[in-house]
Structure 1
Amino acid sequence: MADAKMHRFRFTTSTCAALCCLFLTVCCSDQVPLIMWSGGGVPLGSLAPPAVGHVVSSSQLVSYLNSALSGAPHNVLLFLQEKLSLDDFTMYGGVFGNKQDSAYPNLESALQASPPPSSLVLPMVSWPGVSAVPGLLQERLGTSPLYLEPSTLAQLRLNASVPALLIIRLPYSPGTDMMSPKEVLSGNDEVIGQVLDIVKEQGVPYTAIYTALKPSRVVGEVLSPELRSVGRSLLQVSPSSRYPPVEFKSEGSSCILLWAENLTVSLFSKAKSVWERHDLTPSTFGHTVTPSLTGSSCNHTHSRLIINYENVLGFSSFRLIFSMGRRFYRVSAREWFTLDQVELEYDGQTAVFNGSRNIYAPAEFSYHCESVTSFRYALLVPRSTTDNANQWRVSFTHFQIQGFGVKGQDFSYASDCAGFFTPGIWMGLLTSLLMVLILTYGLHMITQLRTMDRFDDPKGPAISVPQNE
């Protein structure tokens, strides 16, 4: 009993106090919190929590997760909310001691049951780095993720010896269906409680992570009515936290644009037999980031974007090169541009990936794809089986590029890599075709029905059928 009180006191005075202090100093910041705990009481590595006010970068987040997963259970539950900020805990959680009015009773109970070092709270994480958490966990565990609902999880049997990555999506849409932000967060907390109860019933140790893809803005939602504008706003536009694309100019005009939610390269370490991963996003994109584009060029038929980096995976010089071409095709009677190659140059060595035939768009359009990788559903293929590219992996999330016909700093209309006939559309078409065939066959059978010309009347004379002798 005394230990339980001590754990509860430790949680409320250390973790919650840190959250309170950070809320007072960095309110309305563009960071996402990340909370991680172990269900079996296993320590989550040896890394100390960050100092108050410190923003965890993408590379530091990778170190935290790798250290935490080194000894933690490999049945990982990732509660991925659409939007989440530190303000959500300070405004609606039991951070200020009002536990009865908290929107996170299940989450706080789970953290109290797993005190440090079995839990890790990162109040401020750079949100572009958090968006890469699912991919990082997938590479670290070596298994594909399963997107589940609580009802589906009840039918799934986990195995402590087999790694599993279960992703539970949690919405965040305050203002819809007359629900307040606190009601939405309370509903998500109930989902977390249901999932944890199901896993506990199976008796399998687990590691849980609660975070989000983007930060939320809740301070403006809890202002007093006197501070809000009177009337109804039909079109309310909030400042976008999306960073601008990488822009290369030639002779004073833009000619190449590149944007991605995440740029990641991985190098296979033979000594450790693991893929060492480096996130290039923070050093490529941002409102205050200006990457070096030395060596880039563009003309009417060829464009070459070169992004220069320093200290990437131990290499002093590192370059990421995108080579694009523009050609006229007689069959379609128009010009198209293609992403021919993606090259990695590091300390005098090169790794070349050829773009597949699916990376193309009309010359006046931009190209967009949700995922461009070299190792899963690969759109980038190593140029040679003996090339250095076999030791590298590249991954671009929500990738968009335009090498020709650029006007200003905005992309042209995007040609998406997703085909029009998706698996869902094909299933609908085939099902509709099957139903039409069944209906046609039934109508054909009905039209072939024939009645008898004469009927046997039991009250009259019997029908006689003469037989030839």
Structure 2
Amino acid sequence: MAEVNVLNKSSLTMALSPLLFASLLISCCYGQVPLVMWASEGNALPSQDRPTVGQMMSVDQVKTSLTSALATAPHTVLLFLQDKLSMEDFTVYGGAFGDKEAGAFPNLQACLKVASSPLVLPSLARGVTAEVPALLQETLGTSPLYTDLSSLDQQSLDSGPALLVIGLPYSSGPQTKKVLHQNDEMIGKVLQIMKTKKVPYTAIYTGLQPSRVIEDSSVMIEPLVSRHLLQTPAPGVKPPVMFNNTDGPCILLWTDTLRVGYRPNINSPFNTTDLAPLAFTLAGSSCSENSSVLVLNYNNVLSFTSLTVTFVLTKRLFPVSARNWTIVEQVRLSYDGGQTAIFNSSRGIYSPAEYSFHCQTVSSNTTHDPLLVPFNVTVSDMWSMEFTDFQIQGFNVTATGDFSYASDCAGFFTPGIWMGLLTTLLMVYILTYGLHMIMQLRTMDRFQDPKGPSLSVPLSE
């Protein structure tokens, strides 16, 4: 349910002008996100029919448009994924076409000017763009690679399709134009690297959620859903790492931070780094009916040429519960020289096989009741691991690539719950004791009247 605008080259010279976007705003308000797609110079996107004005684009329509566009376009795809983006950002901060001083998008304007038949989708419904990485992955048949400038410069992109995701920030308020201009400069640098490598590409610029939302009671409000962790990734949340086999997605991983630390000897402090935002590949990953292995391959990390993080999951039947359970058996760190640090799961890294596993903190730090315990102490003592907001699923992954209901590692009786229970019990005890004391009070059954005659007691002689 969306509008697709396929602009020809003559009309594209004004693609980012305020006048054009003002006309498009009629169909792109109420929390919708635009998507701009173009191919490198010398390549063209196929033309597509323009649907009825005022419609919003659904996931199926976006998939159809992307599949049609990539039928002839280069299969090295650059996905510039901004935290927030609305058509109003182009209207307010775009400036007149060619006015590089006034506009925040000079590089984007230049690319669209020389591109042949770019694709502009101004009316993607809110939440649809969160599915774009998964749609591109399905179309290209390759997993997304989250990268940055330094990593991209070292990537070899000569063989096979590639899906490179470059995250861009967004800031509301007076800093908006500056941030958008910095993002545009990032786009220009990435495209310059691709030009230097002489690799044809297809570029997509969109946002995870709208930066501006206009309320309208006539617009149907989506029904509220209960919170199931990352069962369905919310708009604005980065997509999980997904490994596919011939039958579709089979392993999912999501973590806010994936921090590893290394020290050459036991007396020196750990040198730590967060692997979550770095580029990686999934070479070596596999999944079967009863075992799954997810391999994250990194280059030039912590002074090592290569570093591999491997998650080993198994599915077992426990007769007591009469059901299958997923267990994270090991987490391995392989680095230069063929050495491997192995961490076994001490307790709690398990969930029913049809569920995913979630834990706020998974760590090897012995001061925080670790879930990861070193196996080969000599090597593992040189490494530390800590994952925050960690979620993984190695079996029964749906075709849509969404997490199943999450089994959390936190027990029911958390310290906060214990404190609340003890405080409640103490207050009940005090109240009960007070009521008991009040009920034991007794009034006097005889009183002396101070205004009446005093009692006289005769004394016998």
Larger radius of gyration: 2
Q: What TM-score comes out, normalization by structure 2 length? A: 0.49
